A and B are shown apart, each in its own frame.
Chain A
Amino acid sequence: MSAFIQHGFSSTQENIYQAALLVASVFFLLGLRMLTNPETARKGQHMAVIGMIIGVGGTLLNSRIHGVGFVWIGVGLAVGAVVGIPMGLWIPMTKMPERVALSHAFGGLAVALVGIAEYSNGHTLDSEFKMGSIGFEVLMGAITFTGSLMAFGKLQGILPGKPQTFGGQNALNFALLGGALVGLIVLVCRPELGLLFYGLVTGGLLLGVLLVLPIGGADMPVVICLLNSYAGLAASASGFALGDNVLIICGALDGGSGLILALIMSKAMNRSFRNVLFGAFGSAKTVEQAGPSKGGNVREGSIEDTAELLKIATSVIFVPGYGMAVAQAQHAVRDLANALQANGTRVKYAIHPVAGRMPGHMNVLLAEANVPYDQLFELDAINDEFAQTDVSIVVGANDVVNPAAKNSPGSPIFGMPILNCDQSKAVIVLKRSMNPGFAGIENELFVLPQTMMVFGDAKQTLGKVTAAMKEGH
């Protein structure tokens, strides 16, 4: 608030501005509350839109804005609309992790730029508190910006998805992080050290790259959530700097939700943050440990075998994984489910928390394919049902169904909660090839006597199975 009082403007305007931000905060919270139930979620989203309009509208009354400033704001908003609207309308659901990573990058960028602008205008010289907030804001914003771009590059396949490691990597990262924090403290005492400030920005940008470099594709859910959290913290810090409460509140909500999701994800992988962030899981070293294929007795099945098996099944559970997203097979899954239901078979879907590349990835894809959400079940809700299920169909999932997590104390994924597909009477695994999953571990499920592997593109395979089932009638 202090910033506005300094500029001393009409108190009516100031009051309307502050009131607008307060109302916006309330709308955001109500919207979030309604998001806890799929029935009311859309209404909640509309509440938030109204809140945003009120907040932005009220901000235009801020008396720091004048004259040609409105033109610049218009230019920025126009660019935002020209990029944002097509992005919102046409990004396919399978690309959601990429789009979320990009939006964190934009969020981090916006916050960092605001901080840099405030610093360059000398607004930090008079207050240690403001300098500290802005330093933190810029550091977090910069880390989020480059970190999210790295995550985007890895998801999009522009950068190699495998962890990139080199000697002394963790030591270097910690040194950089420590250096940045020391720099921040020095800046609070000596805010006039411009070089140090821009060094802090550069350090943040570098840290973002280095921190995400050693993290592999399947760990992306945790990283995306953490970056979400960083973006929130950065926004909150900018709220501290500008005395803007709505920013503090929204930043806290964003930071909190990112942190909660990251905790859920890493718990679902039975790994600590430290292990996810610095363990370089799934790197060359881990794969070597897995050793060469034991061969096992893999039973390969044909389309006809699969169709015959499904025709006599009374209950089927689909287990989707990242492979379903890659093959864009969600519609084919739904078609097969329809054929099964028409045949009188009970169909359910089991969704592991880390299936896919971001929290809830599979749910969104299946919803896109018109699968009713009351057929989608979380791990705890469905795990006991596998034992009474005739057939589990694993579509592009691997580590989340590997019984080694339960049976082999030596396995890198030991202790991770998995879906109990191995307990169902028959298992059909749709897979491209026998390549091991992300963790580079042999999957014991594939060599069980009741398992039948069907190799090939999941979308095509499912289409053929559906056709074969319909022919049978």
Chain B
Amino acid sequence: MYRYDELDQAFVDARVAEFRDQTRRHLAGELSEEQFRPLRLRNGLYIQRHAPMLRIAIPYGLLSAAQLRKLADITRRYDRGFGHFTTRQNLQLNWPKLEDVPEILAELATVQMHAIQTSGNCVRNVTADHLAGIAPDEVDDPRPYCEIIRQWATLHPEFTYLPRKFKIAVTGAATDRAASEVHDVGLHLVRDASGCLGFRVLVGGGLGRAPMIGQVIREFLPREQLLAYLEAILRVYNRQGRRDNIHKARIKILVKALGIERFRELVDAEWQASREHAPRLPLEEIERVRSFFRPQPYELLTDIDVTAEREPRFQAWYRYNTRAHRVSGYRAVFVCLKSHQAVPGDMTAAQMDAVAALAERVSFGLIRATHNQNLVLADVPQRELYGVWQALELLGLAMPNIGTLTDMIACPGLDFCSLANAGTLDVARQIQERFDDLDYLYDLGEIELKISGCMNACGHHHVGHIGILGVDKHGEEWYQLTLGGSASGVTALGEVIGPSVPKHEVAATLERILEVYRGVRHEDERFLDTVRRVGVKPFKERAYAPHPAAA
């Protein structure tokens, strides 16, 4: 993984000192809350329902064992002994004290981490495919480019006060595992006809209040032009994006208002005019950063059958919670943060420590956070899988449900977030309880369930095969269901099936929807494909509980 050089370390150290001073001034009354707010936000610090919330950056989801241990240590010393992994591959602490935050950031800096630009109207943590570097279907590893973008975007003098937040995702694989089409900018690594590497560039995707799918602004951008082109996009956006209405301030609104052709013209003109002043990205710099992401020193192994003669639960875990690896004899292993006893994405300090140790033993000391709120040990020799499973089972991290209904995404919702309209965690629990039968989950097959507690869509509900959105109805929590969304393959936004349902009805409604699916599916047809084939109508007709009088 990338290691800081003197520049990176000097930068984060200066950043910690700056925030220490800003926090001191705020606590001394020299900086009002209004003045402090944009500064703390750019250091990941929100003021939430119960306490401040600190969002720690995990650039493109990659962590070393030492970093994960440090996170465990921080949650023990400054929080309540657990953290919450998010859909931007970050980690949130829900109960830190404001006055402790500078110290937490100083601790993070000792392991080459920070919380810079994890919130605020600036370029956020750049995300990537969680199988980057090991996926069999990959053109090139996206992470070096993520790291380059991270550095370029960090305290960018021109683009740190944008109209609104700005999210970039990079993928190098045929299958989009980074939801890149619902990002402000999505970058797909591709090769042109002559074999040169570059990017297909998408712009104007995003979820939130007005969900939109990104459009191609450039079919092929040479790698060396990456930063110059991003600057052109951001400059057009910074100058012309709306600032009068927070709900219309994302770049997607500007792209839609201008049309992609006009927007492309503006960006191209800006790009051409800035040639002399835009940052260059020499191939030597790309190679320098790429050298940190070389393939691991793998053993020469052959694929083996590790499931024969083993217990069914291990076989199920192998099938659902491990993935193919580019190198024979290895598998990628999901560390499941979706056990039916836990909040999706939550992890205790003890679990973090144990997974760090496991990663050191069997996966080159590296851990990845996924945008689905799980972790991945990416490079596990197949001969170790049974032992890894046993270890994870003991930790409560081996629930064999990855890719199934209960491997759901949920934002923290009303329990923690001051923006939320409705709870998500008790809805998640309700669903976990009702769908506790693994055979039933397996029969339902691949389903992406995504829950958001408000329109801001941190839970990505629009692109869930099934999406659940919490809404506030006269002070009560109700839930609106959407079907048919997807963020991989053909990206699509889900369709609302009808009126929202009260909280206690969510899991039952879901079950009725899934029964419709079981009734009309073709053999081996995924839920999403059935919805695409038959539309939402049959689901809508049966989703709502029959009125007692009519039954």
Q: Do A and B come from one complex?
A: no
